Amino acid sequence: MKLDDKTENEILKKQNKKLCSLLADMCCQADEDTPAEYRTEHFRSAMTDGYDYLKEIGYLEPTLTNTTP
């Protein structure tokens, strides 16, 4: 059975909100739990990319996150 476009759109919105929440939680926990001196360049750039994306789509306010390089 195919879902109508409205129902499918609502499901996708719900999934998107959950993914954003999970990404934000993961970035926040990683930022709080991992001292800067133990972060690899890949770790720092991936966390920054995650925060930047969440800000870009309006999930996070630009001033609410402060990642330590």
pLDDT band at 69 (very low <50, low <70, confident <90, very high): very low
The one-letter amino acid at 69 = P
Please report the pLDDT score of residue 66 as a whole number.
53
Neighbours of 58 (CB within 10 A): 9
| Domain boundaries along the sequence of the chain | 28-69
Neighbours of 9 (CB within 10 A): 11
Q: What is the pLDDT of residues 2-61, one digit of tens each?
A: 779 889 999 999 999 999 999 999 999 999 999 999 999 999 999 999 999 999 999 998
